């Protein structure tokens, strides 16, 4: 670390001048702006810095990391409150709508930034970041996806864009396969992967070929389809012309849906149309599937002998499981997951200053390496290449190798509405309640209507 932070009580009198705009601000939209020297006004009074996230291992890791921050700031306790994934968005935005939050730092999905900015609920950190953060150490895609709004092109950093957050957790999918049954080398293409999974299923009675996210809630089925859409050369929309209908359901989009429904679903366990993170992990750990796809940040339990039937030690499990980036097809794109660190506009100035200081501390190499060791996925380029990250888990190299291939959803204020349609209709195709083409056409029409209704 760079030495213990010193708190000067004499600066307290200058709080209004040095820190953020008044708590809550006006009700006309926009977001309050963080002063570049806001962290010089840190309070010495006891304080709890509260985050709100969803329940999964990285949330516990973040609270554990908070103990390191408390070593720097002994008067500050870091608390991470969690809700079920399906309630995550509403748990945050219901409080935003009331313009009063019981959390200080909401962890937002990358695509929810626009909604939070448009309703004026998170702090504008543009000037603070310019003065305090070396953004050159990040891949520009991370800066754009986890903090900037608006984005002229999703995932492309704009040096002139405003910044409302910085990366907390990078993420993408990894392919996990039974190397003891399928060999050490990963399939070279997506279609080779499907064929290999089918062969493994046929040769091992009682096992299924594939495990993947299918549920109609959260972004489960939506991300699965987006992976297919991107790999087969499709696009979710024409951003310049705000067109979804006729784009996502073009020939490439329908080919992607056909492969998903007619080739992948038959290889998945029966009754898995409601599966998400936990169910996929369980199927892999119980030895029920040949190939699985999972978010890297959610894979820690796969190597835990206490929850695995593949071996009594971590080493024994690794004799059976292997990890690799997603195989390409028409393209090599992979999904962007992960989240950013943000600050509620509706908290006192001293809390906003402390939150900014946490963000500044969190972005240091030392904090990022500790985050990696606890199971987090850092976003700094130097840490992604460091032994502290690459040697902590056998699948961490997958993320580092996948960074140049990332592709995100739309990054729009209408994201939550669009996502609901996306997951619902993809799940309908997966579960057989809609024909694949009909589900994709309905998805396109309903999403186009949402965009048209919202205007520019």
Higher model confidence: residue 338 or residue 160? 338
Average pLDDT over residues 119-133: 96
Asked whether the predicted pLDDT for residue 18 surpasses 90, the reply is no
Q: Which range among 32-41, 59-68, 168-177, 352-361 shows the weakest confidence by mean pLDDT?
A: 32-41
For 346-388, give the DSSP string: TS-HHHHHHHHHHHHHHTSHHHHHHHHHTT----BHHHHTSHH
Asked whether the predicted pLDDT for residue 84 surpasses 50, the reply is yes
User: Residue 346 has what pLDDT?
Assistant: 98
User: Residue 41 has what pLDDT?
Assistant: 81
d(CA 3, CA 12): 22
Q: Where are the beta strands (DSSP E) in 155-269?
A: 162-163, 166-169, 173-178, 208-211
- Please, which pLDDT band fits residue 38 given cuts at 50, 70 and 90? low
Q: For the segment 429-449, what is each residue's pLDDT rounded down to a tens digit?
A: 999 999 999 999 999 999 999
Query: Are the beta carbons of 349 and 237 closer than 8 angstroms?
Result: no
Query: Are the beta carbons of 235 and 229 closer than 8 angstroms?
Result: yes
Q: For the segment 359-382, what is each residue's pLDDT rounded down to a tens digit?
A: 999 999 999 999 999 999 999 999
User: Residue 322 has what pLDDT?
Assistant: 98
Q: Which of 421, 414, 422 is nearest to 119 (CA)?
A: 414
Tally of CB atoms within 10 A around 84: 12
- Please, which pLDDT band fits residue 455 given cuts at 50, 70 and 90? confident
User: Residue 404 has what pLDDT?
Assistant: 93
Asked whether the predicted pLDDT for residue 33 surpasses 80, the reply is no
Q: For the segment 301-337, what is each residue's pLDDT rounded down to a tens digit?
A: 999 999 999 999 999 999 999 999 999 999 999 999 9
Percent of the chain topping pLDDT 90 = 83
Q: For the segment 271-292, what is each residue's pLDDT rounded down to a tens digit?
A: 999 999 999 999 999 999 999 9
Query: Are the beta carbons of 57 and 68 closer than 8 angstroms?
Result: no
Whether the model clears a pTM of 0.85, i.e. scores above it, the answer is yes
User: Residue 23 has what pLDDT?
Assistant: 38
Q: Which of 430, 132, 403 is nearest to 257 (CA)?
A: 430
Mark residue 67 as left, alpha or beta (left: phi above 0; alpha: psi -120 to 50; beta: remaining).
alpha
SS3 261: helix
- Please, which pLDDT band fits residue 12 given cuts at 50, 70 and 90? very low
- Nearest 5°: CA angle at 50, between 336 and 339? 5
d(CA 116, CA 70): 29
User: Residue 151 has what pLDDT?
Assistant: 73
- With tokens 């900014």, the residue in question is 356
User: Residue 13 has what pLDDT?
Assistant: 31
Average pLDDT over residues 91-109: 97
Q: For the segment 143-198, what is each residue's pLDDT rounded down to a tens digit?
A: 999 999 987 666 667 778 899 999 999 999 999 999 999 999 999 999 999 999 99
Q: How high is the mean pLDDT of the chain?
A: 91
Asked whether the predicted pLDDT for residue 17 surpasses 80, the reply is no
User: Residue 35 has what pLDDT?
Assistant: 59
Burial class for 425, CB neighbours closer than 10 Å (0-12, 13-18, 19+): buried
């Amino acid at each position: 670390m760079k030495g213990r932070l010193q708190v000067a009580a004499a600066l307290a009198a200058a709080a209004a001048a040095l820190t953020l705009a008044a708590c809550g601000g006006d009700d006309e939209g926009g977001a309050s702006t963080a002063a570049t020297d806001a962290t010089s006004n840190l309070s010495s009074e006891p304080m709890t810095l509260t985050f709100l996230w969803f329940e999964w291992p990285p949330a516990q890791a973040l609270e554990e990391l908070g103990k390191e921050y408390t070593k720097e700031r002994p008067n500050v306790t870091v608390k991470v409150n969690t809700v079920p994934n399906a309630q995550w968005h509403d748990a945050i935005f219901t409080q935003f709508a009331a313009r009063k939050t019981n959390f200080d730092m909401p962890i937002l999905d990358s695509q929810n930034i626009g909604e939070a900015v448009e309703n004026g609920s998170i702090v504008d950190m543009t000037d603070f970041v310019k003065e305090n953060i070396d953004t050159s150490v990040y891949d520009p895609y991370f800066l754009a996806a986890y903090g900037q709004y608006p984005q002229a092109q999703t995932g492309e950093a704009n040096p002139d864009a405003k910044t409302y957050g910085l990366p907390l957790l990078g993420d993408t999918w990894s392919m996990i396969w039974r190397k003891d049954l399928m060999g050490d080398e990963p399939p070279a293409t997506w279609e080779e992967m499907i064929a290999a999974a089918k062969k493994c299923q046929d040769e091992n009675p009682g096992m299924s070929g594939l495990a993947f996210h299918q549920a109609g809630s959260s972004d489960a089925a939506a991300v699965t389809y987006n992976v297919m859409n991107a790999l087969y050369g499709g696009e979710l929309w024409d951003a310049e012309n705000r067109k979804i209908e006729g784009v996502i359901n073009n020939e490439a989009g329908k080919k992607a849906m056909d492969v998903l429904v007619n080739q992948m679903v038959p290889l998945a366990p029966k009754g898995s149309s409601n599966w998400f993170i936990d169910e996929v992990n369980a199927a892999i750990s119980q030895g029920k599937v040949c190939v699985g796809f999972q978010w890297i940040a959610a894979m820690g339990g796969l190597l835990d002998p206490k929850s695995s039937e593949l071996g009594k030690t971590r080493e024994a499990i690794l004799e059976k499981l292997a990890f690799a980036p997603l195989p390409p097809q028409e393209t090599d794109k992979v999904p962007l997951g992960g989240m950013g660190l943000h600050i509620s506009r509706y908290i006192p100035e001293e809390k906003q200053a402390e939150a900014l200081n946490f963000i500044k501390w969190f972005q240091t190499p030392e904090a990022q390496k500790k985050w990696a060791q606890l199971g987090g996925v850092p976003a700094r380029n130097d840490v992604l290449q460091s032994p502290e990250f690459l040697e902590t888990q056998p699948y961490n190299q997958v993320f580092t190798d996948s960074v140049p291939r990332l592709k995100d959803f739309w990054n729009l204020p209408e994201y939550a509405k669009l996502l609901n349609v996306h997951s619902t209709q993809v799940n309908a195709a997966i579960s057989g309640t809609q024909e694949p083409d009909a589900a994709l056409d309905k998805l396109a029409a309903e999403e186009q209507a949402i965009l048209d209704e919202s205007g520019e």
